[in-house]
Amino acid sequence: MNSFKALGLNEALLQAVSDLGFETPSEVQQKTIPILLEDETDLVALAQTGTGKTAAFGFPLIQKIHSESRTTQGIILSPTRELCLQITNEMHLYSKYVKGLNIVAIYGGASITEQARQIKKGAQIIVATPGRMKDMIGRGMIDISKIDYCILDEADEMLNMGFYEDIKDILSTTPEEKSTWLFSATMPKEVASIAKKFMFNPKEVTVGGRNTGVDTVQHEYYVVSGRDRYEALKRLADANPGIFSVVFCRTKRDTQRVAEKLIEDGYNAGALHGDLSQNQRDLVMNAFRKNQIQMLVATDVAARGIDVDDISHVINYQLPDEIETYTHRSGRTGRAGKSGISMVIITRSELRKIKTIENIIKQKFEAKKIPSGMEICEIQLYHLASKIRNTKINEAVDNYLPAIHDVLEGIDREELIKKIVSVEFTRFYSYYSKVKDLNTSESPGGKGSLNDMPGAEAQTGDSVRYFINVGEKDGYDWMSLKDFLKETLGVGKEDVNRVDVKDSFSFFNTDASLTDLILSTFRDFKVDGRYVNVEVSKNPESGGRKGRDKGRRKKKERRREDTGRRSKAKKSGRRSGKKKNKFRDGFY
């Protein structure tokens, strides 16, 4: 069936379809519309956003509603305010030739009395976020006891965001004989259990592949001593310069405290928890959406409303009390077809919880080490270099160029590069060149020396760390870079590990026996006409054996050069006043 008419749509809808310029029904529309128009049935449809699923349930719903009656006949639950408004807009467009149809959106963060007023006028279809819907039912502002249709859109997302209880409560106030249509991009077991519990013999429709949605997130844990949690958090942030993250704490107090400390230390951080007013929460969320906040420290409850797609990292500052909550936390990243990383900062005594989580998520964690100070310096240095390279030139500088040339006269290119980089790097280096290793060995009485030896994992084994000049900007994430290396080198998946992708460069480790193969493979190696260059990491602590001595020498030299500046930096206070922000800003 490749026309909307053949699917069984009525004139009013066909007219709207024609106005919208839709020519042929999409796959999900072809598969669902005839079923929904023909039968009164429950349905489970697996379809991603952007496949035309709103019309797939919207067209049949509009066609089946009796617009001459003012009773609420259909509800659509969606995870976020944005999606709720988007669905409502689309539904308005689809139903523009249907007289008397009133479709109302209700969602948190806006006036509840105004929304109640709209509903009172008679809304045959209500599009809602679960929290607000439950609230309004509780206050007697909405009556859904006579609905015929209940649509759960992006069911996996709603569950990820912790709306299970709300959905359950809402469904319990609806009539049993209604039809439920569930749309979801993925089918984790929580969604399957909703389908089982609340639906009767649902028909199933799948568009594209069946995706469990778990493999887009890499899970990592870092074992530290309890008192080093905060320091570990900072290092994880510093080792990921482009980080855009949600940091989960267990209590409101910890959330506030960690956010305050991060801000004090010059990070772009914000707190989100239940003790803040709605207004304060809106301000924080807006700043987060605009990427002005890179580390959003949140409680589980407050994080329910987070509807941002590009979160690169979820950091579990502490594990949740209810271990199942971990799935909701990690589901904040790796969304909308992107990959993400979920990190857990953990103490040795909590380690067994990792096993429990692995059983729940059916995925293995990677045991990782908190980066050493020198590893962070190396990452920041490359980040700085790529930032300089990608900086858009400000033409206003032209007027001052002759004078600038005068000031910089006599300095050659090599020296100039060193100086430019040092402007920002020295402050970073002077902090990180003297910090301790934070890693704790996993077993008590195990290799305690790990404590004293930065990046020991890389040094004790025969592991070598490499730098490669491709990163996120080239479209790589940890998964695809690992695949690329594996294929290019003709080695196994286990041979390439510790893949860390940064914005325009990355790092990875292999066994030392592969170093010659790697360096020879990537000699004069081009992808799409561009040189892809791999070098043994110059950082002495990260296992770059060849670079180690050189690194040490360099470090000493730099130290000597640095001494003067460092004491100055100390006086001006890395950790006080405006300087701190400047320190951080330079690296983001």
Q: Binding residues for ligand AMP, per CB under 6 A?
A: 22, 25-26, 29, 49-55, 90
Distance from C-alpha of 509 to C-alpha of 515, rounded to nearest angstrom: 10
Q: Which is nearer to ligand AMP, 50 or 175 (by Cβ)?
A: 50
Shortest distance, position 411 Cβ to ligand AMP, whole Å:
55
Distance from C-alpha of 247 to C-alpha of 318, rounded to nearest angstrom: 9
Residue 46: exposure state from Cβ atoms within 10 A (0-12, 13-18, ≥19): buried
Distance from C-alpha of 113 to C-alpha of 141, rounded to nearest angstrom: 9
Q: Which two tokens stand for residue 489?
A: 């080198």
Shortest distance, position 182 Cβ to ligand AMP, whole Å:
15
End-to-end CA distance of the chain: 52
Q: Which is nearer to ligand AMP, 54 or 294 (by Cβ)?
A: 54
Shortest distance, position 23 Cβ to ligand AMP, whole Å:
6
Q: Which residue has the tokens 């080792």?
A: 239
Distance from C-alpha of 498 to C-alpha of 432, rounded to nearest angstrom: 21
Q: Which is nearer to ligand AMP, 79 or 241 (by Cβ)?
A: 79
Q: Which is nearer to ligand AMP, 27 or 483 (by Cβ)?
A: 27
Q: Could you say which DSSP state residue 206 is in?
A: E
Q: What are phi and psi of 346, to 5 degrees?
A: -140, 150
Shortest distance, position 83 Cβ to ligand AMP, whole Å:
9
Shortest distance, position 60 Cβ to ligand AMP, whole Å:
13
Q: Which is nearer to ligand AMP, 127 or 496 (by Cβ)?
A: 127
423-434 burial code (b ≥16 CB/10 A, e <16): ebbbbbbbbbee
Q: Which two tokens stand for residue 353?
A: 């919880």
Pairing of strands 43-46, 179-184: parallel
Q: Which is nearer to ligand AMP, 32 or 504 (by Cβ)?
A: 32
For the chain, count helices (H), then strands (E).
23, 20
Q: Which is nearer to ligand AMP, 49 or 73 (by Cβ)?
A: 49
Shortest distance, position 178 Cβ to ligand AMP, whole Å:
22
Shortest distance, position 90 Cβ to ligand AMP, whole Å:
6
Distance from C-alpha of 565 to C-alpha of 571, rounded to nearest angstrom: 10
Distance from C-alpha of 481 to C-alpha of 93, rounded to nearest angstrom: 43
Edge-to-edge strand list for the sheet holding 497-501: 497-501, 506-511, 463-468, 534-536
Q: What angle do CA 289, 294, 297 make, to 5 degrees?
A: 95
| DSSP E strands, 338-481 | 340-346, 366-368, 463-468
Q: Which residue has the tokens 């609905």?
A: 147
Q: Which is nearer to ligand AMP, 87 or 191 (by Cβ)?
A: 87
Q: Which is nearer to ligand AMP, 82 or 366 (by Cβ)?
A: 82
Residue 243: count of CB within 10 angstroms of its CB: 20
Residue 250 near residue 325, CB atoms below 8 Å: no
Distance from C-alpha of 320 to C-alpha of 314, rounded to nearest angstrom: 13
Q: Which residues pair with 245 in a beta bridge?
A: 295, 313
Residue 138: count of CB within 10 angstroms of its CB: 11
Q: Which is nearer to ligand AMP, 25 or 455 (by Cβ)?
A: 25
Shortest distance, position 59 Cβ to ligand AMP, whole Å:
9
Q: How far is residue 384 from each of residues 88, 135, 379, 580, measured CA to CA in Å? A: 45, 49, 9, 17
Q: Which is nearer to ligand AMP, 129 or 510 (by Cβ)?
A: 129
Shortest distance, position 61 Cβ to ligand AMP, whole Å:
13
Q: Which is nearer to ligand AMP, 181 or 365 (by Cβ)?
A: 181
Shortest distance, position 97 Cβ to ligand AMP, whole Å:
16
Residue 296 near residue 288, CB atoms below 8 Å: yes
Shortest distance, position 330 Cβ to ligand AMP, whole Å:
25
Q: Could you say which DSSP state residue 439 is in?
A: B
Shortest distance, position 457 Cβ to ligand AMP, whole Å:
45
Shortest distance, position 56 Cβ to ligand AMP, whole Å:
7
Q: Which is nearer to ligand AMP, 26 or 67 (by Cβ)?
A: 26
